[in-house]
Amino acid sequence: MAEVVGGSTPRTERPEYWEDGIHYFATPKDLARLATPVLLDTERKITDAGLSQISSGLLPAGTVLLSSRAPIGYLAIAEVPVAVNQGFIAMKPRQGVSNLFLLRWAYASHEGIVSHANGSTFLEISKSNFRLIPVITPDNAVMKAFDDLSGSLYRKVINAERESRTLAALRDSLLPKLISGELRVKDAERFLKERGL
């Protein structure tokens, strides 16, 4: 149903991998702070040189990300192309497979996924153990119907998440100016009206 890949972390002491990075680089920490399973941004970004150090490369938007350790089970769909560190199992859906189906399957199969994990310090599920987990695959008509129904709802979640980020950024830029007196309420209203907000 999906090509399952992992990631790695380019050496952090090499500034050419990190400084002025342009590619999103996800760690489980990025998923831990999400209110919805939508990855639109990451805390860190890497350069082309850094990206060349990750064998899975830049994963396409639509990839389902599952944290594979500490803890197992953070989930999101990458809505931007993203590289990932070694704390992930990334599922790139095959043709005709809904990434939303994979996301819901992973939520529902959490206990089964964890049961395939091992480790003495903390549990981790390897890609090879993950690939052994059975999945009941719906036929094409059911998969399409599921994707059509859930896709419209998921797009609303994405739009709400983007709008929330925009409003938070506006608040963060306007509030200090309003409090300091640099900007007055009438000026702020005009600012928002000029931008169609």
- The domain of 120 spans 2-136
Burial of 105 (0-12, 13-18, 19+ CB in 10 A): buried
Residue with tokens 């994405």: 158
Question: What average pLDDT does range 183-195 have in this prediction?
Answer: 78
Strands 82-84 and 23-26: parallel
DSSP H/E element including 118: none
| Average pLDDT value for residue range 141-149 | 94
Same domain, 186 and 91: no
User: Last residue of some domain: 136, 159, 181?
Assistant: 136
Residue 74 corresponds to which tokens in the numbers above?
């953070």
Residue 18, classed as helix, strand or coil, is coil
Domain boundary at 136, 151, 171, which? 136
Reported as a single tens digit per residue, the pLDDT across 38-48 is: 999 999 999 99
CB-based contact 81:58 (threshold 8 Å): yes
Does 149 share its domain with 52? no
Exposure pattern of 28-45 as b/e (b: 16+ CB <10 Å)?
Answer: bebbeeeeebbbeebebb
9 plus 69 within the same structural domain: yes
Q: How confident is the model at residue 155 (pLDDT cuts 50, 70, 90)?
A: very high
The model's confidence at residue 115, banded by pLDDT at 50, 70 and 90, is very high
Q: Please report how the helices 140-180 and 185-194 are oriented relative to each other, as an axis angle in degrees rounded to 10.
A: 150
- Pair 29, 119 in one domain: yes
d(CA 7, CA 25): 10
- Does 125 lie in the same domain as 64? yes
Q: Which of 104, 136, 168 is the last residue of a domain?
A: 136
Contact 84, 92 (CB under 8 A): no
pTM of the predicted model as reported, rounded to 2 decimal places: 0.84
Pick 14 or 181 by higher pLDDT: 14
* 31 and 106 part of one domain: yes
Strands (E) located in 27-172? 38-39, 44-46, 64-68, 72-78, 82-84, 88-93
Whether residue 132 is found in the same domain as residue 142: no
Do 103 and 144 share a domain, yes or no? no
Q: Are residues 124 and 30 in the same domain?
A: yes
Contact (CB, 8 A) for 88 and 48: no
* Average pLDDT in the chain: 92
Q: What digits encode the pLDDT tens for the residues 50-61? A: 999 999 999 999
Look at the chain and report how many structural domains it folds into: 2
pLDDT computed for residue 190 by the predictor: 81
Residue 148, pLDDT score: 94
Are 111 and 159 found together in one domain? no
The verdict on 8 and 105 lying in the same domain is yes
CATH number for the domain harbouring residue 38: 3.90.220.20
Using alpha carbons, list the distances in angstroms from residue 165 to 33, 101, 123, 158: 13, 26, 33, 11
Q: Domain check: are 152 and 98 in the same one?
A: no
Model confidence at 193, pLDDT cuts 50, 70, 90, reads confident
